[in-house]
Amino acid sequence: MPKGHHALTDALATAELLQVQIAYHYRPETPVGTIWS
């Protein structure tokens, strides 16, 4: 039987993926405002 959906786990995984993508595409000194524009 399949287990239920766990939104918290999905949200944390999505946040970690976003962090990795930002680290790959931007330098550490890039202002956050640059990323969101």
Domain ranges (residues) in the chain: 3-34
Nearest-angstrom CA–CA distance, 37 and 4: 36
Note the pLDDT of residue 5: 78
Which pLDDT band, with edges at 50, 70 and 90, does 1 fall under? low
Q: Is the pLDDT of residue 8 over 90?
A: yes
More confident residue, 2 or 4: 4
Stretch 15-30: mean pLDDT, rounded?
Answer: 95
Please give the biggest Cα pair distance in the chain.
47
**Dihedral sign computed on CA atoms, order 16, 31, 25, 23:** negative
